Chain A
């Protein structure tokens, strides 16, 4: 435990690592990192796709979605239980995604050369949501919070970020708790308790008294979380008096249309996401678990691959039909992939070394395969892409300048995508 690196803080560590990388590998750094001594950075705003995604629907598969059984099918030894499906766009998709393959291959850009160093769920999910490695001393914001910081609120009354099927963690990061995504644990139930528990008159008297009686306590403690609570009460009252409240009511949709998405938490979450972005919520994450298929991947893919195929296909069809796809970026990602080897328990184990992500809508060039894995799906073969690059690309599409440095309250510099590169090749 006496490595010299341990005594440095994480920034100097990174700088040290960068120096090593530069001298030994010939890696060049983004110019603005060199203590401002180099030429002005490229103007990202002039690059393809900047700001064309007004909204983002971020589908995060929890547990590590097997790339080989979904977006990067293989033949040979690593082939999974399903047979790859040939699409009209010229590439193949995994056997459990028939609808996506049949109806939407022209809309998708798939990155098959994703790589990460994190093979643990919690820190992998954190990295995928924030674009930063997890540290003990700081919390990093997700893209929805970044957008709220750099672009402002997306709606007067609705929150700018919503996360469906999960709690609000990995949200606001070091930004104000007000940027935290509004969590909807059950899309079917929507926003619960939106009816006042008393008449408007009584409610207003209660609130007046509350503010008086609680003022001493609120004044005594200069605590961030305490202040955030008071802000949440303000936001809640604003939301309750707004007509946009009905955005959360999935039950307003026709039953038959809801069924197209699949009557499960992911399918309904995708439909709710569509309703929300229609009303002005900028960033909606829908997460969906059950991808940690260490055991019996055939059963797992049969169930969850099908749910994914149904919901994502329905979402893309509806966005297209409503003319929302051009301004809405849909991404599908997971904290890592799963290994080429089928283990002794008929499952696959964690595999961060190479995996895939999918993008559609907004400025995305449909029918594109970017990068590749090797024959077995074991390692990156071409155009290695980090999670930071992926984040930078999505952020760029949202109109966030990935070169813009924002200082945290602890006075440390951060950027959207942690200095990753925007993948211009998949944007138009």
Chain B
């Protein structure tokens, strides 16, 4: 019963049946059993109801007249208080709840307990113990950063800490998982993974960005999203999903190499040029996979030309430049032909085929039995059935995103695990060729099954992970050696990602208005650029005018940073922002110190060089999964002297305004600690801070200090 698979409902039914047996047959066990439970809890006792039935369980708390008791196998009983035997009723009203408190949803509680049990087994085998549960202060900061992508505001922290309900952890998870913040966080993660950039192929990829945001906001299942990326066709201007393949326009092999490592953890990149030196992938296998894209053209040179070359005389150089942009934007499209044209490279050197041979599509397998899986058989049938090769991408997409695919679910499960714990069960996440080469293979397999059971619902999966005790434990404090296997006694200490740090700054400056501004650039761009009719000089000139005004708009909103006369512009923008606020709209983000105070997900993709986000490690979106969490001298200079600290020590910023609204020095310090670090200061910190304020430092200086603390940028 260690790793439960199958539908949740079925599991619950089985558990209910067991529970019935349990209550009726095991009447008299010792009152207190002191062995450790799967989740590390030690306090189990026999609970008795008014009919004399008993259950051995740990006390999770009381809410709305119900007592919550969790058995060793993770199942949560919800029993009306009045059903408890009188002495147990008294106990339930006085006992402190164990561990996390009440898990709201018995299905989630059960599934989380199974994961905890898997982790504990790994730890025990390695002779290690789980960490203690994290304090409420640690938890609230961590869960906001992980789910909302930012630190909690002072009010959110205070309200969580003051909440006396035993289910508050489960409640905050349920609230945050549904919020815009989570969408933003997921978008940031995927845009690093997928190298999402505003500018690629001499065009703007706005439609791709907004398409992806929409999928995340609507919580479409991951397998459906990825399938769309693989099979999308038509113009980028009209179908954002084409952005994935068009990001690597005319580069089928590079794109495939990324597809396989990103979505399947298949480390085949070496096989693009030669047989893999250590794994079993051969160059031929790589080309056989490429053949699934062999009839799909992403290059499409001719379509965009429109005979523009003749227009050079009729247009000014600036206009001709725009005309070229129009051409580039309109030629970005995917079209499926009838014939697969994938051939082996000219320097192919193995004996099983000749250079330049046409390659027929064939799916890779990881074990000898894989081909018996239905997704392989379906693919076989589909390949044979087609009249031509135009459907090959779909065959590939169906196979890759199938719940039965040996790696698809596992790869995204491992990635999501890493997002929440700071390190994957298997590292690197792009190489799952050998899932046994990790610290806890059984757990990895189990997470893959859970991903399938939850139908690739990433919110449900993340919610499950957050409800585990493993996630809610203290971060590890000892030094981890490079390459040391990690058994997950808790999360690791992580530096905030660039986006978490930036979004936290914005939240400090403007509070819960942080999600107010949403970038909508795709529609106006597409409308301006898309040419749907026959092209003539009149249309081009018309388009050129439209594009001129669009460019002014696009450059105005997102801020240009300080220096070189931008101050004036910023004033104008602030005025514009105020004007739009009055209309109750967020057409433009709020500006301070030349920074547009909006979520990273709503700013340039990636931000300009030198912006806080880039200095703090945001990927340049050239290489997949390349956000960096390392420090540097320029980064420290920025934290010490850059615009972000100016924003935070500006009296207009919410964090400082709130602190300055307090009269007593203690209250100012309290307020700033809660805002920046989601906790109150210790007695000695209070003394130090107060002394410094007495000696002439201001609340603004204290903002600077807390912003520059390691405790601010590291997530424990």
* A213 x B706 contact (CB < 8 A): yes
Q: Answer whether A193 and B696 are a contact pair too, CB < 8 Å, given A202-B701, A229-B631.
A: no
CA–CA, A6 to B689, complex, Å?
56
B696 contact set on A, CB distance < 8 A: 205
- Is B483's CB under 8 angstroms from A217's CB? no
Render A342-373 as a binary contact track against B, CB cut-off 8 A, 1 for contact.
Answer: 00110101101100000000000000000000
Docked-complex contact A209 and B637, CB < 8 angstroms: no
Residues of B within 8 A of A194 (CB): 637, 641
Which chain A residues border B299 with CB–CB below 8 Å? 295, 344-345
**Does B460 touch A at the CB level, under 8 Å?**
no
Query: Beyond A209-B705, A232-B631, is A119–B478 a contact (Cβ under 8 Å)?
Result: no
Q: How far is the CA of A333 from the CA of B120 in the complex (A)?
A: 49
Asked if B52 lies at the interface with its beta carbon under 8 angstroms from chain A, I say no
Interface residue? B582 (CB, 8 A): no
What does the 1/0 interface line of B680-693 toward A look like (CB < 8 Å)?
00100100110010
A192, A202, A409: the one contacting B634 at CB < 8 Å is A192
Asked whether, in the complex, the Cβ of A182 is within 8 Å of the Cβ of B692, the reply is no
From residue 220 to 276 of chain B, which have CB atoms closer than 8 A to chain A? 249-251, 253-254, 257, 269-270, 272-274
Are A1's CB and B367's CB within 8 A?
Answer: yes
Instruction: For the complex formed, measure the closest distance between the CB of B171 and the CB atoms of chain A, giving whole angstroms.
Output: 28
Contact with A along B686-716 (1 / 0, CB 8 A): 0011001001110001101110111101101
Give A192 to B642 CA distance when docked, in angstroms.
8
Cβ-based interface call for B630 (8 A): yes
A353 to chain B: closest residue by CB: B347
Assuming the contacts A185-B610, A228-B631, asked whether A120 and B257 have C-beta atoms less than 8 A apart, the reply is yes
- Does B273 contact A214, Cβ atoms closer than 8 Å? no
A195 touches B641 (CB 8 A): yes
Q: Does A241 reach chain B (CB closer than 8 Å)?
A: no
Q: How far is the CA of A186 from the CA of B434 in the complex (A)?
A: 41
Q: How far is the CA of A17 from the CA of B278 in the complex (A)?
A: 10
Residue in B431, B609, B632, B705 whose Cβ sees the most chain A Cβ within 10 Å: B632
Binds B, one of A38-46, A145-153, A166-174: A166-174
Residues on the A chain within 8 Å of B628, using CB: 167-169
A192 — which chain B residues lie within 8 A by C-beta? 610, 634, 637-638, 642
Given the known inter-chain contacts A224-B479, A289-B622, please indicate yes or no for A233 contacting B705, CB distance below 8 A.
no
Binary CB contact string for chain B from 482 to 495 against chain A (1 if under 8 A, 0 otherwise): 11100000000101
Q: How far is the CA of A52 from the CA of B685 in the complex (A)?
A: 54
How many residues on chain A are close to B (CB under 8 Å)? 84
- Tell me which residues across on chain B come within 8 A of A17, comparing CB atoms: 277
- Tally the A-B contacts, defined by beta carbons under 8 Å: 219
Measured in the bound complex, the distance between the Cα atoms of B299 and A194 in whole Å is: 46
Q: Is the CB of B692 within 8 A of A209?
A: yes
Cα(A240)–Cα(B623), bound, Å = 33
Nearest CB of B to A310, in Å: 22
**Chain B, interface residues (CB within 8 Å), range:** 35 or more
Asked if B515 lies at the interface with its beta carbon under 8 angstroms from chain A, I say: no
Which residues of B are found within 8 Å of A228, using beta-carbon distances? 630-631
Report whether A236 and B477 are in contact in the complex, using a CB–CB cutoff of 8 Å: no
- How far, in angstroms, from A189 to B564 measured CA to CA in the complex? 11
Report chain B residues within 8 Å CB of A221.
Answer: 475, 477, 493, 714, 716
Is the C-beta of A210 less than 8 angstroms from some C-beta in chain B? yes
For B704, what are the chain A residues with a Cβ–Cβ distance below 8 Å? 197-198, 206
Report B364-402 CB contacts with A as 1/0, cut-off 8 Å. 001100000000000000000000000000000000000
Q: Give which listed residue, B277, B495, B692, contacts A225 with CB less than 8 A.
A: B495
CA distance A139 to B481 in the complex (A): 12
Whether a CB of chain A sits under 8 angstroms from the CB of B636 is yes
Do most interface residues of chain B lie in helix, strand or loop, or is the interface mixed? loop
- Residue pair B347, A379 in contact (C-beta under 8 Å): yes
Rounded to whole angstroms, the CA-CA distance of A180 and B646 in the bound complex is 28
Report Cα–Cα, A32/B277, bound state, in Å. 24
Please report the C-alpha to C-alpha distance between residue A414 and residue B696 in the assembled complex, in whole angstroms: 53
User: For A17, A240, A294, which residue has the most chain B Cβ atoms within 10 angstroms?
Assistant: A294
The reply to whether B630 and A177 form a contact with Cβ atoms under 8 Å apart is yes
Chain A, 124-149, CB within 8 A of any chain B CB: 136-139
B605 at the interface (CB under 8 A from A): no
| Contact present for B713 and A229 (CB under 8 Å) | yes
Residues of chain B in range 454-487 having any CB-CB distance to chain A below 8 Å: 475, 477-484
- Indicate which residue in B475, B614, B633, B708 contacts A210 across the interface (CB closer than 8 Å): B708
Chain B nearest Cβ from A121, distance in angstroms: 7
- B477–A220 contact, CB under 8 A? yes
Q: Is the CB of B278 within 8 A of A410?
A: no
Verify B279–A222 contact, CB threshold 8 A.
no
B residues in contact with A223, CB < 8 Å: 477, 479-480, 493, 714
In the complex, 11 of the A-B residue pairs with CB atoms within 8 angstroms, ordered by the A residue number, are A119-B272, A167-B620, A167-B628, A184-B634, A193-B641, A205-B692, A209-B702, A224-B479, A225-B495, A294-B251, A408-B482
Complex A-B, nearest 3 residue pairs according to Cβ-Cβ distance, in ascending order? A119-B273, A137-B483, A193-B641
Please give 12 more A-B residue pairs, beta carbons under 8 A apart, in addition to A192-B642, A206-B697, A222-B477.
Answer: A5-B278, A168-B628, A177-B630, A194-B637, A198-B704, A202-B697, A205-B696, A213-B706, A214-B709, A225-B631, A232-B635, A236-B640
B residues apposed to A, CB below 8 Å: 249-251, 253-254, 257, 269-270, 272-274, 277-280, 299, 301, 346-347, 366-367, 427-428, 431, 433-434, 437, 475, 477-484, 493, 495, 609-610, 614-615, 617, 620, 622-624, 626, 628-638, 640-642, 645-646, 682, 685, 688-689, 692, 695-697, 701-702, 704-706, 708-711, 713-714, 716
- Residues on A lying within 8 angstroms of B by beta carbon are 1-3, 5-6, 13, 17, 62, 117-123, 136-139, 159, 167-169, 174, 177, 180, 182-186, 189, 191-198, 202, 205-206, 209-210, 212-214, 216-218, 220-226, 228-230, 232-233, 235-236, 239-240, 289, 294-295, 339, 341, 344-345, 347, 349-350, 352-353, 378-379, 408-410
